[in-house]
Chain A
């Protein structure tokens, strides 16, 4: 049994990661529809019901994702006769796979000690964690481009071409925007970055990425939405123009593209949380600080140490719970923010997206990098 314990921990971590990614993808489709309904003064989906013991349970339409999946799975799977069958079938998997993989490097909680052993709450801890994110996300281009190419449809082809050009362009910007943070925190490893973000600037402001690199946050967020191909960058889909690279797909294969989009929302939110919003850090919740308890004895442990003088001992376990909770809260908030953007803005034109990427955001992120490097060098 002892020999298997590390593997059980690994399985547990992977299960938790999948629970976040897939578990959020379903509710996100519901949230998107419900959210848009709120914005647009509609009621939104509320009809999928479950009848239990003669009572109809609607739960605000929360069963809709399940109904959607049943519909998608039972739908006829059509393939255009001119399509390249192999690539056509494999493309949705290539699109979905990198979206699921990227989350592996995102730490969802602090290291915890169980039975004298330190366990990480992160699936894969690699020294080049950030680089792995970019390496994997560049594979996602293939899924979209192949889908467009293999469908044997001109509209899908246009969508695939748009998507490939856009994703490759914005990856450059995205990578450069993160380098400033790498310089400041001196590491490429996400969990080390999160730990570094636990410090305070001037004794009160958390040293979160968004505070030390605000410009980089805006650039990264913009590029991440472009990478995810959502409005205002949904050139590849452009529902009123070319309908999208997945126009020929039906059933669950379309569903996989759809799922990939929502998992990517979660991944983008996860990366933003990790890089810019202190990951699992709760402001002023610190490890290894001294506390004076009611009996007057001093203990060293985890707890809140407020800048205005108050303190609150939580202990390691409650602290870890709070931190995982904080991570999930930030994650869901950033997902919600992306949904809000989707229903607020119009769409750019193809050439405007390219201009924005190469001629505005790229020079801006380069300037940001040079400035950050100079400041880091001088301090």
Chain B
């Protein structure tokens, strides 16, 4: 009884004082959990415009000086009703919108939608093998580019600016490849229901291999500059530990899940495309510098994944078969009443498209499941008890991309 009354007062005061801007006037008078007399706590809005949120997310922080008592992520600032738009545009016309679901790794977002529609239309076996290989090449390049941003901004949030720009330089090369492949550098709109938009441009494979020869050693260079730095390790090791059970309970996905020691990768466990034909390992968190599931593991899993993506790329570029890039698909799609779910391994974990069709030219309902959302909600559990500086590093370690979070 008294506990619930306390909680309600607490929340009431916090939301009431959120408009105050003075440090003393805006401090919320809240009772701490022990129920001891009133204490001055501070309500801090980290976001929606804050350098560490990398997009418009608001972390409402209740803190006692530097010590954070509670974190409440507020989402929805970048909500563009993409799922609703799917109900209004044609099936082919929705493809460009999937780019906007996750513009840091737009290829995998493309791929997921193409796959779910192929399942609905029964095209899975008709898509040419060359198209599948092209999808793998594009997706893996995109995964590397996305991990560039993830690990780079993480290092930047911890204060080292230079390695971030080294990664952006490498990412620039991938943007050039993408431009050569499909004409766009950020929102590609490359994949189609039934294949891909265009074949490889001449000399593309040689250019990528030459870049890979340069890029793979540069991962070690990056590690020497950032990952092995003592200050960096001390900042991240043992920070925000998510153990195996907790990671599953909060529904973490992708690298965040694997950092907690769960060996789950959609490419391996729910095979799709031509991934079963390619040889690669799935890096799992081992507690490299601290314990399994800490922020350093989440960071380092991504570094290792880049290496694995390089392996996949080399195999795919070598083993790509000749042939068409598109299956025969009619221009106007009117699938029967049906439903399907297709997950892909995006750079931020399992990205699933669930679509319900009803015989019309547009979807009855479409739902996108993304990794960023669960990664944001776990901040409530991890944020309490860390310092403000830690919160920034912790949030960065989950690699949340705002558009993917809100859609």
Residues in A lying within 8 Å of B, measured CB to CB: 36, 39-42, 80, 82, 149, 152-155, 157-158, 161-162, 231-232, 234-235, 238-243, 343-352
Contact = CB atoms under 8 A, between A and B. Distances in A.
A232 B159 contact: yes
A75 to B, nearest CB: 19
B44 A345 contact: no
Contacts of B225: 344
A346 B51 contact: no
Contacts of A241: 52, 157, 388-389, 392
Counting chain A CB atoms within 10 Å of each CB, which of B169, B388, B389 scores highest? B389
Contacts of B66: 158, 162, 350
B150 to A, nearest CB: 15
B231 interface: yes
A240 B392 contact: yes
Contacts, number: 94
Interface string B172-198: 000000000000000000000000000
Nearest to A152: B22
B42 A242 contact: no
- Which of A36, A153, A158 has the most B CB atoms < 10 Å from its CB? A158
B155 A349 contact: no
A347 B166 contact: no
B158 A82 contact: no
Main secondary structure of the interface of A (DSSP, over half): loop
A40 B225 CA distance: 12
Contact of A240 (B22, B26, B52, B231): B52
Interface in B142-161: 155-161
B165 A40 contact: yes
17 contacts: A82-B21, A82-B25, A152-B23, A154-B42, A158-B65, A235-B389, A240-B52, A240-B158, A241-B388, A243-B51, A345-B160, A346-B159, A347-B158, A347-B159, A348-B231, A348-B235, A352-B234
Nearest to A344: B162
Contacts of B235: 346-349, 352
A91 to B, nearest CB: 15
Interface in B234-265: 234-235
B104 interface: no
Interface in B350-407: 387-390, 392
A153 B23 contact: yes
A36 B163 CA distance: 11
Of listed A39, A242, A348, A349, residue having the most chain B CB within 10 A: A349
B226 interface: yes
Contact of B51 (A42, A239, A347): A239
A344 B160 contact: yes
B166 A41 contact: yes
Given A40-B162, A41-B165, A350-B387, 7 more contacts: A41-B166, A42-B165, A152-B22, A241-B52, A344-B162, A345-B160, A345-B231
B229 interface: yes
B231 A158 contact: no
B232 interface: yes
A177 to B, nearest CB: 21
A238 B392 CA distance: 10
